[in-house]
């Protein structure tokens, strides 16, 4: 009964977010039309193309119609699940996003896992010893992670672990060029290699994943560790913690069962926001490591004034953001039954 009520409330939350998604679609569509540059000129063999060739390309792209009519046609295609066709790749945008999204998700989820496994213990240790040398060291690490741009840390990692030490493989994508891809089941190479029983390929894919995941994780450790530290300090200073100590409960039980469980709620919120941000903003990491994800795909399309892929990418990111928010709300209810998904 409780699970059904939660699903119903989550469904209501999703329906209430549809106007926001519609606003994102319209805003992105209009923004692409006001950006400088004419995609018809770009795809008509450059500025030397004749007026007739440019006019023909504009007609093929539907740019010869008024903007309101273009928007209505786009919304009609969108309602049928048609995101348009990329002029850069020649493929439907939906197919391109479906092929590239697993690469971005695999990289982002791995980086988020590394960040959580690093940031949460650091935040707890800093909160247990406020003002100590350990606390100052954790805060320094957090500040350093925020100050160093992702492309700089990525290049440094490549220089140290690939060029100097030779421990990392070539930063040229998801898998070594001499290895064959596993049969596609999920699009996640680690899962597909495991399902195929190819552990040599799994190991190779994992090695390719380490450096770009570490690069992304270094940038998001800081907000997660800071939030964990602040939440733990607030939780450790609460009345129920003092009551638990007066009852003679063990320090481990007090920290893990009571303090951490109450402190984890803000961390869940930050983790959801961080995940959505990482997925859309990891374009620099994908470019540095030649990772074939959706962010680099959208950047290439933007540089080419290819409207459809950029619009599809923004809509995809908005939908993922809504889904992540709903997931965080459900996890809130699991961590604290007093919190409703509404």
Range among 173-187, 241-255, 259-273 rated most confident: 173-187
Residue with tokens 């008024």: 66
Alpha carbon separation from 93 to 83, 84, 102, 278, 311 (Å, rounded): 6, 6, 15, 21, 9
Which is more confident, 173 or 250?
173
pLDDT in the model for residue 54: 73
pLDDT in the model for residue 341: 46
Alpha carbon separation from 314 to 74, 167, 235, 245, 276 (Å, rounded): 14, 36, 38, 50, 12
The Cα–Cα gap between 11 and 17 comes to 10
Given pLDDT bands bounded at 50, 70 and 90, which one contains residue 77? confident
Q: Is residue 19 in a domain? A: yes
Q: Is residue 67 in a domain? A: no
Range of the domain at 243: 97-335
Residues 181 and 257 in one domain: yes
Which is more confident, 337 or 303?
303
- Whether residue 131 has pLDDT greater than 50: yes
In sequence order, which ranges of the chain are alpha helices (DSSP H)?
2-34, 39-43, 51-61, 67-79, 93-128, 133-147, 150-157, 189-196, 199-236, 239-246, 251-253, 261-281, 283-288, 294-303, 307-335
Residues 178 and 233 in one domain: yes
Q: Is residue 47 in a domain? A: yes
Residues 141 and 281 in one domain: yes
- Token duo for residue 109: 């989820």
pLDDT in the model for residue 302: 84
Residues 249 and 152 in one domain: yes
How confident is the model over 193-226, as pLDDT tens digits?
A: 999 988 988 999 999 999 999 998 888 888 888 8
How confident is the model over 23-61, as pLDDT tens digits?
A: 888 888 888 777 776 676 666 665 566 677 777 777 777
If you average pLDDT over every residue of the chain, what do you get? 82
Residues 190 and 304 in one domain: yes
Q: Is residue 141 in a domain? A: yes
Q: Per the structure, how many domains does the chain have?
A: 2
In the three-class reduction of DSSP (H, G, I as helix; E, B as strand; rest coil), residue 45 is classed as: coil
Torsion angle of C-alpha atoms 146, 149, 155, 161, degrees rounded to 10 = 10
Q: What is the mean pLDDT of residues 257-261?
A: 77
């Amino acid at each position: 009964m409780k699970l059904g009520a939660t699903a119903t409330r989550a469904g209501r939350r999703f329906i209430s977010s549809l106007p926001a998604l519609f606003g994102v679609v319209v805003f992105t569509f209009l923004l692409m039309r006001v950006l400088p540059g004419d995609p018809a000129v770009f795809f008509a063999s450059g500025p030397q193309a004749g007026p007739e060739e440019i006019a023909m390309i504009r007609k093929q792209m539907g740019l010869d119609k008024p903007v309101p009519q273009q928007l209505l046609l786009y919304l009609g295609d969108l309602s049928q699940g048609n995101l348009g066709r990329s002029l850069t790749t020649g493929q439907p945008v939906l197919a391109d996003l479906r092929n590239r999204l697993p690469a971005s998700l695999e990289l982002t989820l791995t980086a988020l896992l590394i960040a959580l496994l690093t940031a949460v213990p650091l935040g707890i240790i800093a909160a247990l010893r406020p003002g100590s040398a350990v606390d100052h060291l954790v805060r320094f690490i957090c500040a350093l992670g925020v100050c160093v741009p992702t492309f700089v840390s990525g290049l440094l990692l490549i220089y140290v672990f690939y060029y100097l030490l030779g421990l990392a493989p070539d930063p040229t994508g998801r898998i070594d060029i001499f290895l064959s891809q596993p049969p596609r089941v999920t699009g996640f190479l680690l899962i597909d290699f495991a399902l195929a029983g190819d552990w040599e390929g799994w190991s190779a894919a994992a090695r390719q994943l380490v450096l770009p995941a570490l690069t992304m994780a270094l940038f998001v450790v800081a907000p997660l560790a800071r939030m964990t530290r602040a939440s733990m300090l607030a939780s450790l200073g609460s009345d129920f913690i003092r009551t638990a100590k007066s009852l003679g409960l063990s320090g481990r039980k007090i920290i893990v069962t009571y303090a951490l469980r109450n402190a984890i709620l803000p961390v869940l919120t930050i983790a959801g926001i961080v995940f959505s941000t990482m997925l859309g903003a990891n374009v620099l990491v994908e470019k540095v490591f030649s990772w074939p994800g959706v962010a680099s795909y959208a950047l290439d399309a933007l540089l080419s004034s290819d409207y459809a892929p950029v619009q599809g990418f923004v809509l995809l990111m908005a939908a993922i953001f809504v889904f992540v928010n709903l997931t965080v709300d459900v996890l809130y209810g699991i961590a604290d039954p007093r919190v409703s998904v509404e």
